[in-house]
């Protein structure tokens, strides 16, 4: 059963026009449908690139609310792009994630991310035909693993978008996300097997090389910046203790606050691998085994406007600037090609919650979380409305983007 907490308009400092008031009424009227979608996705967790149920459910709901949907967007089967409006003005996109985690299901709350984007699309879609511009809801699979947004950026999926907006459930409210750039590196060492007791001198020990890599990486930590992270596991370490291992595989995540520094860190890590190979007489290979995530470039013009709607119109609890620590998100790659935000919304209700846990999985389907996602959908929609109707606001977002990254957005939306 859908557990609904209605959130009604309470204007304080920001005066809304008639279309903005209509946006909020439409989301309130559709709240039962929106929350039903959230709970259905929560109850049917699907791993990355397997999100057939969630992708279809969201797309079908948007079609029922007047959107045209392209399934298999950017040649990714469970991605989609829902469009409503015209091509004559700016374009705003709300991004939906809906993949789950192995073992804990929606322990990162992607059911809330998906349906906040859905609700924003429904709300802004109800008035976009009266405006110059259009609204997109883009379904982006596999955030927890390969990061489909990385591929979508490379294939030009966001090339014609003026602003990309999304939220993420969290422990507390934050209008910015300081995510880390990340490279996923797989290291393989090749040696020569031999009997570990009878003739160890005839072998070349690939496990020694892997262990030496970990030791060198640990030594490197003393010389890296506080925002850097290096961590890994051995996924293949040998087959028996009486055989010199001739083949080992390790997987590593390297992270840093900026892509520039991460690139420097990767070169230092590769030197650790090369040194381990030289010391042990092994041969090595290094490759990326997942897509590389860029750091999140927060567009403050967009983030602060959304913050104002949350706190001044929607009676949200106060927001802080950014959490002290966070992981890596493929939204970072989007934020390098278009002005974007990744706002964190509270679903903890005063509890201590860590993502990717059973406790978080339970928290994202409570009445408190339901209320938070509806409020988030409204804030997204109102901010998107300003992107389409306030030329000065959009130009300010573009100017900040150009200043932050050193080059202009890839598309000017008219």
CATH number at residue 261: 3.30.70.360
CB-CB neighbours of 349 under 10 Å: 15
Identify the domain boundary among 229, 258, 288: 288
Q: What is the three-class DSSP state of 405?
A: helix
Q: Which domain holds residue 237?
A: 181-288
Q: pTM for this one?
A: 0.89
Among the ranges given (186-200, 301-315, 320-334, 361-375), the one the predictor scored with the smallest mean pLDDT = 320-334
Whether residue 413 has pLDDT greater than 50: no
pLDDT tens string 23-49: 999 999 999 999 999 999 999 999 999
Q: How far is CA 257 from CA 291, 297, 370, in A?
A: 17, 10, 32
**Is there a domain that residue 259 lies in?**
yes
pLDDT at 15 over 70: yes
Sheet strand arrangement including 134-139? 68-71, 80-85, 134-139, 91-96, 163-170, 340-346
Residue 125 shares a structural domain with residue 188 = no
Are residues 341 and 363 both part of a single domain? yes
pLDDT higher than threshold 80 for residue 409: no
CB neighbour class for 37 (10 Å; exposed up to 12, middle 13-18, buried from 19): buried
Within this chain, do residues 235 and 206 fall inside the same structural domain, yes or no?
yes
Please indicate, yes or no, if residue 314 is contained in any of the structural domains: yes
- How far is it, in rounded angstroms, from Cα 163 to Cα 161? 6
Neighbours of 330 (CB within 10 A): 29
Structure tokens at 180: 């880390």
Backbone CA torsion sign across 193, 196, 201, 206: positive
CB 242 within 8 A of CB 193: no
Are 28 and 139 in a shared domain?
Answer: yes
Sheet containing strand 229-236, edge to edge, reads: 229-236, 247-256, 181-190, 283-288
Distance, CA of 333 to CA of 95 (rounded, Å): 13
Residue 385 in any domain: the answer is yes
The answer to whether residue 386 is domain-embedded is yes
In angstroms, rounded to a whole number, what is the distance separating the alpha carbons of residues 310 and 316? 5
Q: What is the rounded radius of gyration, in angstroms, for the C-alpha atoms of the chain?
A: 24
Residue 9 included in any domain: no
> Domain check: are 282 and 306 in the same one?
no
Calculate what percentage of the chain has a pLDDT beyond 90: 89
Domain count, the chain: 2
Higher pLDDT, 9 or 222: 222
Please determine, for residue 408, whether its predicted confidence score (pLDDT) is greater than 60.
Answer: no
- Both 305 and 172 in a single domain? yes
pLDDT at 407 over 90: no
Q: What is the pLDDT of residue 13?
A: 61
User: Are residue 237 and residue 330 in the same domain, yes or no?
Assistant: no
The confidence band for 212, taking pLDDT boundaries of 50, 70 and 90, is very high
Within this chain, do residues 303 and 281 fall inside the same structural domain, yes or no? no
pLDDT grade for 376, boundaries at 50, 70 and 90: very high
Q: What is the CATH number of the domain that holds 57?
A: 3.40.630.10
- 60 has a pLDDT exceeding 70: yes
Cβ-count burial of 4 within 10 angstroms (0-12 exposed, 13-18 middle, 19+ buried)?
middle
Choose between 140 and 324: higher pLDDT. 140
The mean pLDDT value for 179-195 works out to 96
pLDDT at 8 over 60: no
Asked if residue 118 lies in contact with residue 96, where contact means CB atoms within 8 angstroms, the answer is yes
* More confident: 8 or 357: 357
Specify the pLDDT at position 148.
96
User: Do 43 and 135 sit in the same domain of this protein?
Assistant: yes
What integer pLDDT is reported at residue 5 of this predicted model? 38
pLDDT in tens, 227-239: 999 999 999 999 9
């Amino acid at each position: 059963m859908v557990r609904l907490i209605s959130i009604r308009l309470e204007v304080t400092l920001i005066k809304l026009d008639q279309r903005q008031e209509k946006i909020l009424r439409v989301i309130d009227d559709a709240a039962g449908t929106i929350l039903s979608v959230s709970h259905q996705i929560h109850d049917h967790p699907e791993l990355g690139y397997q999100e057939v149920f969630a992708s279809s459910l969201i797309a079908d709901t948007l079609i029922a609310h007047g959107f045209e949907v392209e399934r298999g967007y950017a040649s990714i089967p469970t991605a989609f792009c829902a469009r409503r409006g015209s091509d004559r003005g700016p374009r705003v996109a709300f991004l939906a994630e809906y993949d789950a985690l192995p073992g804990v299901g929606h322990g990162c709350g992607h059911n809330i991310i998906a349906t906040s984007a859905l609700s924003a699309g429904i709300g802004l879609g109800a008035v976009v035909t009266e405006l110059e511009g259009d609204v997109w809801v883009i379904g982006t699979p596999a955030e927890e693993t390969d990061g489909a947004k990385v591929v979508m950026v490379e294939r030009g999926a966001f090339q014609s978008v003026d602003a990309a907006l999304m939220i993420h459930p969290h422990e507390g409210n934050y209008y910015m996300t300081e995510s880390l750039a990340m490279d996923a590196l797989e290291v393989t060492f090749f040696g020569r097997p031999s009997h570990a007791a009878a003739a160890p001198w005839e072998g070349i020990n690939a496990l020694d090389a892997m262990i030496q890599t970990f030791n060198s990486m640990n030594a490197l930590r003393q010389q890296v910046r506080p925002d850097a992270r290096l961590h890994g596991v051995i996924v293949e370490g040998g087959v028996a203790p009486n055989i010199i291992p001739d083949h080992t595989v390790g997987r590593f995540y390297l992270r840093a606050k900026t892509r520039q520094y991460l690139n420097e860190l990767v070169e230092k890590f590769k030197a650790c691998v090369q040194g381990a190979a030289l010391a042990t007489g092994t041969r090595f290979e290094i490759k990326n085994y997942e897509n590389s995530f860029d750091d999140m470039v927060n567009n403050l013009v967009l983030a602060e406007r959304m913050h104002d709607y949350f706190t001044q119109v929607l009676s949200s609890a106060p927001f802080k600037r950014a959490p002290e620590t966070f992981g890596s998100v493929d939204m970072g790659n989007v934020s390098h090609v278009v002005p974007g935000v990744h706002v964190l919304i509270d679903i903890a209700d005063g509890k201590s919650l860590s993502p990717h846990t059973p406790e978080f999985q339970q928290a994202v389907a409570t009445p408190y979380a339901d209320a938070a996602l509806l409020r988030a959908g409204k804030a997204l929609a109102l901010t998107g409305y300003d992107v389409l109707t306030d030329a000065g606001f959009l130009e300010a977002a573009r100017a900040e983007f150009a200043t932050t990254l050193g080059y202009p957005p890839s598309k000017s939306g008219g």
